Amino acid sequence: MRGGTVIAANTTTGILALLEPDDSVRDALLTLLHGQGWVVEVATDAKELGKLLQAWDVTAVISEASMPGAAASEILGVCSARHVPVIFTGHDQRVQAAVDLVRQGADDYLDKPFSHQRLLDLLNRLTRAH
């Protein structure tokens, strides 16, 4: 039994884990997601993410594909092992990286800058499936 029940389910949309190295992008995402009732836990590498997923009933992970401290494949591995969907974000316009991650099981890949609505739509879909 994981710890997500500490927070009453009716007051929050759910719990997300976020990995984003850029302070301003992270702050903007936190503001957006908090505004939608999400509780957001921040991690900086795969190990931290693993601990988070173990401790909380996380609905989805949102992760920058090129985190300085963790390869995207490593993050994907942690998420797959816990059956938590992961949405990658990226800014280097590399089609191959996006395609490979989605083929390997990532739920989606959003090319930065992406529309906030697009992210929220994705999260809504994942919430229904959760």
Partner 1 sequence: MRRGGRICIIDDDEAIREALRLLLSAAGISSHLYASADEFLARTDNRLFDCVLLDIRMPGMDGLGLFQHLLRERAQYPVIFITGHGDIPLAVGAIKQGAFDFLTKPFREGELLEKVNAAIQHFRDQKDQRELRQELSCRMESCTPRERDVMRLMVAGLHNKDIGEELQISPRTVEIHRAQVMAKMQAESLPALVRMTASLGIFPDGGGDQGT
Which residues lie near partner 1 (CB under 8 A)?
A: 90, 93, 95-96, 98-99, 102-103, 108-109, 111
Tell me whether residue 47 or residue 118 sits nearer to partner 1 (CB atom). Answer: 118
Beta carbons of 129 and 108 less than 8 angstroms apart: no
Tell me whether residue 16 or residue 98 sits nearer to partner 1 (CB atom). Answer: 98
Tell me whether residue 48 or residue 100 sits nearer to partner 1 (CB atom). Answer: 100
Alpha carbon distance 126, 45 (integer Å): 23
Closest to 40 measured CA to CA, from 64, 19, 65 = 19
Closest to 14 measured CA to CA, from 98, 100, 130 = 130
Three-class SS state of 96 = helix
Compute the least distance from the CB of residue 79 to partner 1, in Å. 16
Compute the least distance from the CB of residue 101 to partner 1, in Å. 9
Compute the least distance from the CB of residue 76 to partner 1, in Å. 14
